[in-house]
Structure 1
Amino acid sequence: MNDQKTNAPRASAKLPRGLADRGPADIAATEKMLAAIKESYELYGFEAVETPFIEFTEALGKFLPDQDRPNEGVFSFKDDDESWLSLRYDLTAPLARYVAENFDRLPKPYRSYRAGYVFRNEKPGPGRFRQFMQFDADTVGAASVAADAEMCMMAADTLERLGIKRGDYVIKVNNRKVLDGVMEAIGLGGAENAGRRLTVLRAIDKFDRLGLEGVRHLLGPGRKDESGDFTKGAGLSEDQTDFVVAVIHSAIAIQGKIVGGEAYGEAAAFAPHPQFPFNDYFVKSANVKFAEGISELAQIKTILHASGYGDDRIRIDPSVVRGLEYYTGPVFEAELTLEVQDEHGHPIRFGSVGGGGRYDGLVGRFRGENVPATGFSIGVSRLFSALKAISSPIVAGAAQRGPVVVLVLDKAEIARYQGFVTELRNAGVKAELYLGSSGMNAQLKYADKRGSICAVIQGSNERSSGEVAIRDLALGAELAASTKDRADYLELRAKAQFSVKETELVAAVRDVLARHG
């Protein structure tokens, strides 16, 4: 074998930006969290389905990117037949393809849920990842806004099941028809204004993150972010910008005011913002789309209140947009309102952890006719961070304990040690044989790092008497923490180890594991 060093460059051991590794503790806690979401979705009658990571680019559609090339916003590549393939950017577009492909055999309405990773070819930053997990539920084939109201109720119930207290979250509801009516009111109706209309909606959607001034810049000439990158704005006039600002400013006035009745009357009843004649704006924008949107919001609120969901849990909020272009009706967003502190004592607001809405045209892209559909998606990674921050019982203590480690003190007896491991495994106890080359103390340190509760030890003395020693590592750590005196420490540590007959190995190990829950 050639031991000489080569001149080949060493590979860089680091992740690309916008990606993250996960260890066993995070994986175990995430699985526990996903199980709770699954229980909530199934309680509402949804069933599981799974779609692949990769779809034809045309099947995903151009709803996320707004440029001509297919890999803008998504990760795309050409297949060997020159067709474009893309990594899915959400779980909704693949579901639309699945439903259209299996339309005749699926029950309608079709209620399904799915969890998995999605991918965005966007500039990464704090809280913005190129790969992240979502957990969706969708109802396809139901035109009634009762389906949208149900999504909001399920979102609220799911957050509470995950340990988010009532009052620490809110589900905010709006309607894209209302926003489309506003767009028509400022002269941005019609297919020729689709690009500018989307830019305006995306600007409104950034209100929580950028504030009013940031949105104003994006509605007008554009905005330069902290890194110096410039985002081109919608190019609205000052009057048009004032109109949109009035809508945002009046969100608080509108909240809770939609209670039913004639749509135009509801619009006129909204309290005006002191700086703008807001009633006049709504009279101006009282077109068909706007009226439909207001009416649908009123129906949703009536259903919510009749089901016992008050404004403290689910409320109307006209600042909610949702960034994807395929939404056609009610849209909703799950926002955490609680504030926690990071390790440096700085306040953290998690904001939106999920959302969704009605997308009646998405399945119809494949069938030539609209198919009503609505859905809700949880951002698993962001919500997981929030649950850790508030020490939710869903993720607290979810870390997996390491296996029982059987030490190897005599390599000539390795088959005997392996027999102990097999006996434990056959009894349903997680166990492993130490496969390194270190001595006893290093092996015990290894077991500690693995998070093991106990270790099995057999030296020549134990072997000659047909016994094994059980070291209670958890108890040993507790006892060691109770004293700084070495003599006392050694005496206490001895209490954490005992010997039993080989035939009693499984029972003794189970007793130790049970002692520590």
Structure 2
Amino acid sequence: MAQDKAPEAKTSRPRAETPKGFRDYFGAEVTERKAMLDKVAEVYHRYGFDPLETSAVETVEALGKFLPDVDRPNEGVFAWQDEDQDWLALRYDLTAPLARVAAQFRNDLPSPYRRYAMGPVWRNEKPGPGRFRQFYQCDADTVGAPSVAADAEICAMLCDALLAVGIDQGDFVVRINNRKVLNGVMEATGLYVADDPSKFAAERGIVLRAIDKFDKFGTEGVRALLGKGRMDQSGDFTKGANLAEEQIDLFAWFLETPQGTEQQRLASIAGFVGKTPSGAEGVSELEMMSELLDKAGYAGRNTMIDWSVVRGLGYYTGPVYEAELTFEILDEKGRKRQFGSVSGGGRYDDLVKRFTGQSVPATGVSIGVDRLLAALRAKGRIGTDTQGPVVVTVMDRDRMADYMGMVADLRNAGIRAEVYLGNPKNFGNQLKYADKRQSPVAVIQGGNEAEKGTVILKDLILGAQIAQNATLEEWKDRPAQVEIPRADLVAAVRKMLAK
């Protein structure tokens, strides 16, 4: 009696899907990003900054912000323990690696050290709409320069970079503040006690977050957050700082400093915080930055003092700045709103100190690459369509060397081109392939053309336009393909592309 065959094990195949919080970038997107970053790099290079590429992996100890704990050692970052028991992690920004480089190579690098860096960073956070776990950053920093002239230079360079990529003069502003001024306001309003810095720390955090929302919520919204709290339209309640009414009045006055020249506004604030050492120093630094940017032609046109700029809670130690795009777009509900911030930065004099034990002045800025690309698309400065290569079709397998010769001539002339490498049996499939590649021109040479020493050029863009809109007479007057001598291939293709 024949034995029953055992059932075959079902083959397990991996799911072909992108991990949650990540995405793939295809041809046009990669090309657009590279073109934009090349323009930014050209500006940075002109300012004397050098490129730096650091490892994508750092020790968790060097990253510093997300130290391992017992329950979740990789909180905030993608981390793992290597064979030496050290915790390693993918970098979460480009600044922490710079601090490590500045400390590790401090005897070899020039001081000040100007560098720019571009590349992906990774954050182990909950993804959401438009929020990914891997994204691109573009940073520029100066390490070793204590003068706020370095901060002013960064702001000027940021303005030039935005202009270079295609943001119009009147469509952006770099807003500048100083954390020392904010510290002075805290002290003047009784929220900072020099003898006990930990006192009112929670309240100061709420106040800074409220100030940061001034452009979004306005004075009344900020007053609510400084008081008992604020409820938004959805019914969500945000707990407030529970400040006294006179304290709230002082913060409101600070945010609504009377309009005038920057020097007049700075003078008004100096009268408020100037009696505190931190506030007086912050005002003095802003006065110098304002003067430098004014002399360089940026102040009042591309840069402005704005007391609502906070930029984080514990990271920055002096001037802070962010670039805001001021033109309007439509949100997902069709409502008009300003595009918003695409870049931010400031002075951080204590980051390198973690490694060296000595304070090392540093300042820098980071551009959100995806945000800036989205802004350029919204302004029509770039498109999602990228012209594909000229496709040399294959009519005869045995004459592949001839087709390779054609594509070589085109490439050597600087024309993007490729030979069709699929199954050439069905010529229609070759043209479908060229359409999918968004190819502008197809090169065709069958046996008859080869004997005559000619090739046929098919204008795929014009052909598509004629097929959609043209009459029969127009089709005859504007042929979408021409036969030309093989020797004229490069010149004819270049002429067709120029049209």
Aligned partners of 1:179 and 1:107: how far apart in 2? 33
* Counterpart residue number, 1:42: 45
Question: Relative to structure 1, is the Cα distance of residues 308 and 501 closer, same or farther in structure 2, using a 3 angstrom cutoff?
Answer: closer
% of aligned pairs identical?
A: 51
Asked if the contact 2:91/2:97 (under 8 Å) is kept, the reply is: yes
- 1:431 paired residue number: 417
Q: CA deviation at 1:143?
A: 1.0
CA separation of 1:212 and 1:70: change in aligned 2, threshold 3 A: farther
Spell out, residue by residue over 1:45-96, the C-alpha distance to the aligned partner (whole angstroms, 9 max, x if none).
2121111222111212227999995533333222222222222222112111
Does residue 409 (structure 1) correspond to residue 395 (structure 2)? The answer is yes
Q: What is the match of residue 278 of structure 1?
A: none
What is the Cα deviation at residue 217 of structure 1?
Answer: 7.2
TM-score, normalized by length of structure 2? 0.85
Query: Per the alignment, do residues 323 and 146 of structure 1 end up closer, same or farther by CA in structure 2, a change over 3 Å counting?
Result: same
- Are 1:187 and 2:202 matched, yes or no? no
1:204 aligns with 2:211: yes
What are the Cα deviations for residues 289-314 of structure 1, in whole angstroms up to 9, with x where unaligned?
Answer: 12221222122222222333332421
Q: Which residue of 2 aligns with 1:134?
A: 137
Secondary structure at 1:429's aligned position in 2? coil
Alignment of 1:317-356 (within 5 A): 317-323=306-312, 325-341=314-330, 346-356=335-345
2:97 is matched with 94
CA offsets 1:162-210 (integer angstroms, 9 cap, x no match): 2222232111111111222333444355553596344543443344456
Instruction: Report the CA distance between 1:502 and its aligned residue.
Output: 3.4
Query: Whole-Å Cα distance in 1 between the matches of residues 407 and 105 of structure 2?
Result: 49
Q: Secondary structure at the match of 1:167?
A: helix
Note closer, same or farther for the CA distance 1:20–1:391 as it changes in structure 2 (3 Å cut). Answer: same
> 2:360 matched to 1:358?
no
> Whose relative contact order is higher, 1 or 2, with alpha carbons under 8 Å and at least 6 apart?
1
CA-to-partner distance for each residue in 1:338-389, whole Å, 9 max, x for gaps? 1134698542422111111111111121111101111122111111111111
Structure 1 pair 200–267 and aligned structure 2 pair: CA distance change class (3 A): closer
The question of 1:247 aligning with 2:251 is answered yes
Segments of structure 2 that go 5 or more residues without pairing to the other structure are 1-6
Question: Higher mean Cα deviation, 355-364 or 318-327?
Answer: 318-327
Which position in structure 2 is the counterpart of 1:277?
Answer: none
Amino acid at match of 1:410: D
SS across alignment from 1:417: helix
Q: Which secondary structure does the structure 2 equivalent of 1:371 belong to?
A: coil
What residue number does 2:269 align with? 267
Asked if structure 1 preserves the Cα contact closer than 8 Å seen for 2:226 and 2:243, the reply is no
Q: 1:45 to 1:413 in 2, by over 3 A?
A: closer
**In 2, Cα distance between the equivalents of 1:217 and 1:73?**
31
Report how far residue 288 of structure 1 moved. 1.6
Partner of 2:34: 31
1:510 counterpart = 2:494: yes
Q: Does 1:160 align with 2:160?
A: no
Deviations 1:29-53 (A, max 9, x none): 2222112211222222212111122
Partner of 2:75: 72
Deviation at 1:127, TM superposition (A): 4.2
2:403 corresponds to 1:420? no
Q: Per the alignment, do residues 260 and 147 of structure 1 end up closer, same or farther by CA in structure 2, a change over 3 Å counting?
A: farther
Residue 435 (structure 2) aligns with: 448
User: Aligned pair in 2 of structure 1 residues 114, 423: CA closer, same or farther (>3 Å)?
Assistant: same
Judged with a 3 Å threshold, the aligned counterparts in structure 2 of structure 1 residues 444 and 44 are, in CA distance, closer, same or farther, namely same
Residue identity in the other structure for 1:501: P
Residues 350 and 382 of structure 1 are in contact (CA less than 8 Å); yes or no, is this contact kept in structure 2? Answer: no
Q: Tell me, in whole angstroms, the C-alpha distance in 1 between the residues paired with 2:222 and 2:86.
A: 38
1:469 to 453, 456, 459: 456
- Cα deviations by residue, 1:216-267 (Å, 9 ceiling, x for unpaired): 6766788899999x8985x632328x73675356424266565289x8x643
For the 8 Å contact 1:77–1:86, the answer to whether it is kept is yes
Could you say what secondary structure the match of 2:373 adopts?
helix
Instruction: Tell me how many residue pairs correspond in the alignment.
Output: 488
The amino acid across from 1:237 in the alignment is N
- Opposite residue 79 of structure 2, the aligned amino acid is S
